[in-house]
Amino acid sequence: MGDGGCRPLGFLIGLPFALIALVLSLVGAVIWVLGSVLSCICPCCICCAGIANFAVSLVKLPFSIIRWFIDQIPC
């Protein structure tokens, strides 16, 4: 079987949390766009790069949460 083939329960349990994380990732995408625009306008603002990196981690959050829940369920 595949890597997570016998763990459908972890996927179902993690789905509501992944949906919340999806909303956060959309917010992260907006923050990333704003941070990228600000860093292009004023490259001396080092904080904009940090905000953009934080936003990228928010965008990756739904995948991390689903994988974490799937790994918590024993096969």
Question: Cβ(65)–Cβ(10) under 8 Å?
Answer: no
Residue 5: C-alpha distances to residues 2, 66, 71 (Å) = 5, 14, 11
Q: What is the pLDDT of residues 33-43, one digit of tens each?
A: 887 787 777 76
* 57 assigned to some structural domain: yes
Which residue range is the domain that position 38 belongs to?
A: 23-72
* 8 assigned to some structural domain: no
Q: How far apart are CA 53 and CA 64, in angstroms?
A: 16
DSSP state of 73: S
Sites in the chain below the pLDDT cut of 70: 1-10, 43, 45-48, 75
Q: How many domains does the chain have?
A: 1
Q: Which pLDDT value is given to residue 1?
A: 46
Q: Which pLDDT value is given to residue 45?
A: 66
Q: How far apart are CA 3 and CA 27, in angstroms?
A: 31
